[in-house]
């Protein structure tokens, strides 16, 4: 594609966004006036249609993207169309939704406004069903930005649901989607003045763009979920759960397991159990071959192998494995840039760690989450309630599922968590919430608050009539400038500190900006007492950005004169 052609597509995409946003804003005015009964009728009709088309939509998604397994995508479509629907159906989202009689407070729901919804290629149809349902339930018009690799299946899903919604009385423009999809068009959508809130599901770059758009945004970062098998666990069930979670739709859910951490005392039994259930452990040489084809230079999963079966991945790496292999396991000794397979892999490949006990496992799991999964999800397989509680208290993950697959438990399929396809990572992951996102997050709540205590007479007798006198200030001690200087020199000398001056940076003495920075990169730079050069295209994980900014490690080459 020539630059001129690309520019023309960008302009067409932006023009389309402007048109869709205007229509959505008009539809929003009408949706705001809908009753609860009208909204529920529309949502019911859309869910019914989506459930009826779960299988053909799943087949279309796999055919277009090449990711995942049709049967598993059917299950995800039904999860969105049935379980999410069953969860949101009784919600009150119109008018008075709660009265607190003891506090004399009345809560009234208001829709947030037009939603810009970015849909990924890994879970395209199920995410589309889910986002449309929760948006309309909250009386919010929605505009979808499909991933370029999944335009057909996302568009088809949206068409079916929009047609069902219109038949049930939804206004024109309440559900729309981009047909000419470009990065510039998606950015224009997220920044558009008629858009009120962003639902962003995708890679780190996309989520960063959503949070930089100047709008309230719900973004979800990478998962990199560890699964810990503690010595008291039911080993057979634990291994089965991990294999089930990791192979579900070939591992494309961001909450699927990415690492196994196991107590040394049961490690051999766990290894045998994995092998009996279709697991293959790689040798050191095979592990190196695997990381060479699976992990890019930016420390991201190779998109050509995302959602592909273990047998295909092994073949690409030149590894000979049994034909019934379901998952590859690579033993590792550490986490971080020197261990490429410790990243989120989005395919049936697991890193495998052996530790002495749960305390060491606790630290290892924190390291794994710190390398691209902060705030997301992990699992613990154990019968020891004390250890389980300790993991709940100490782990930087907001979904710690117990004795169940992370992929299924995190979204509320096998646990009591709110059913959702968008999982907030909270402050740990740089997100605005740690919740599973639902229609509640697309509502603003007005509150009528009646007086329950008089502002004039309450507690007046308890207030002191006069303020107590302040204690006398100590007499100032005057020191000569030379005395101050001598004391500072003595202080620094006792601690053997040296004051260094940062060299002046200019365009002539900086290196090329890096493409990706994680927390471990920042810590290594601190140990080596060097800077990290970045620019606007550099992908920086939230934890890395916080630490690097605090310790002044980053030099933005775009800002250097």
Report residue 137 as tokens: 């339930």
Site of tokens 């589309």: 128
Dig out the tokens for 393 from the structure: 């208290």
Q: Which two tokens stand for residue 519?
A: 């927390």
Distance CA 79, CA 390 (A): 31
Residue pointed to by tokens 């003495």: 509
* Calpha distance 561→177 (Å, rounded): 42
**Which residues are tagged catalytic?**
254
Closest CA to 68 of 77, 78, 58: 58
List, as one string, the DSSP characters of 95-134.
EEEEEETTTTEEEEEEE--EEEEEE-SSSHHHHHHHHHHH
Strand blocks (E) in 161-303? 175-177, 195-201, 217-220, 225-229, 257-263, 279-281
- What dihedral angle (degrees, nearest 10) is formed by the CA atoms of 70, 72, 75, 79? -120
> 37 is written with which tokens?
């009964």
Interatomic CA distance for residues 165 and 172, integer angstroms: 9
Beta pairing, strands 105-111 & 95-100: antiparallel
Q: Is the dihedral of CA 270, 272, 276, 278 positive or negative?
A: positive
What is the distance between the alpha carbons of residues 248 and 258, in angstroms, rounded to a whole number? 12
Please name which of 94, 188, 99, 124 lies closest in space to residue 442, comparing C-alpha atoms.
94
């Amino acid at each position: 594609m020539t630059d001129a052609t690309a520019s023309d597509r960008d302009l067409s995409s932006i023009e389309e966004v402007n048109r869709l946003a205007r229509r959505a804003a008009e539809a929003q005015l009408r949706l705001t006036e809908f009753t609860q009964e009208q909204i529920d009728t529309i949502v019911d009709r859309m869910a019914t249609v989506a459930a009826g088309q779960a299988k053909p939509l799943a087949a279309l998604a796999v055919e277009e993207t090449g990711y995942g397994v049709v049967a598993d995508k059917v299950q995800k479509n039904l999860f969105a169309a049935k379980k999410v629907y069953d969860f949101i159906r009784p919600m009150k989202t119109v008018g008075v939704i709660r009265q607190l009689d003891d506090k004399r407070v009345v809560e009234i729901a208001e829709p947030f406004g037009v939603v810009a919804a970015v849909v990924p290629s890994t879970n395209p149809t199920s995410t589309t069903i889910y986002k449309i349902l929760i948006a309309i339930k909250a009386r919010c018009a929605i505009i979808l930005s499909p991933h370029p690799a999944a335009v057909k299946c996302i568009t088809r899903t949206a068409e079916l649901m929009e047609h069902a919604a219109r038949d049930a009385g939804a206004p024109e423009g309440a559900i729309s989607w981009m047909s000419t999809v470009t990065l510039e068009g998606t950015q224009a959508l997220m920044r558009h003045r008629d858009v009120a809130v962003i639902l962003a599901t995708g890679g780190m770059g996309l989520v960063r763009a959503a949070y930089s758009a100047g709008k309230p945004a719900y973004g979800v970062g990478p998962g990199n979920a560890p699964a810990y098998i503690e010595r008291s666990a039911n080993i057979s069930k634990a291994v089965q759960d991990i294999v089930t979670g990791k192979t579900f739709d070939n591992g494309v859910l961001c909450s699927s397991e990415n690492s196994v951490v196991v107590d040394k005392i049961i490690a051999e039994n766990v290894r045998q159990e994995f092998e009996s259930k279709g697991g293959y452990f790689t040798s050191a040489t095979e592990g190196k071959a695997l990381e060479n084809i699976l992990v890019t230079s930016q420390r991201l999963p190779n998109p050509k192998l995302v959602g592909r079966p273990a047998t295909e991945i092994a073949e690409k790496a030149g590894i000979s494995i049994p034909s019934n292999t379901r998952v590859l396991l690579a033993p590792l000794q550490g986490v971080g840039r020197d261990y490429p397979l410790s990243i989120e892999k989005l395919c049936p490949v697991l890193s495998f760690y052996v530790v002495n006990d749960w305390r060491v496992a606790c630290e290892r799991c924190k390291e794994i989450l710190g390398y691209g999964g902060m705030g997301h999800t992990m699992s613990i397989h154990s019968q020891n309630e004390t250890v389980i509680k300790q993991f709940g208290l100490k782990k930087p993950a907001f979904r710690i599922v117990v004795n169940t697959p992370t992929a299924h438990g995190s979204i509320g399929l096998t646990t009591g968590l709110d059913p959702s396809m968008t999982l907030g990572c909270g402050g740990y992951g740089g997100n605005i919430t740690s919740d599973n996102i639902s229609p509640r997050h697309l509502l603003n709540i007005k509150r009528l608050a009646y007086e329950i205590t008089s502002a004039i007479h309450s507690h007046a007798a308890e207030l002191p009539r006069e303020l107590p006198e302040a204690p006398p200030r100590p007499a100032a001690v005057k020191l000569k400038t030379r005395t101050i200087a001598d004391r500072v020199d003595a202080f620094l000398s006792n601690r053997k500190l040296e004051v260094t001056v940062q060299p002046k940076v200019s365009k002539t003495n900086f290196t090329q900006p890096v493409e990706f920075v994680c927390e471990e990169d920042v810590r290594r730079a601190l140990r080596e007492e060097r800077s990290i050069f970045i620019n606007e295209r550099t992908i920086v994980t939230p934890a890395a950005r916080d630490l690097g900014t605090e310790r002044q490690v980053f030099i933005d080459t775009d800002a250097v004169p």
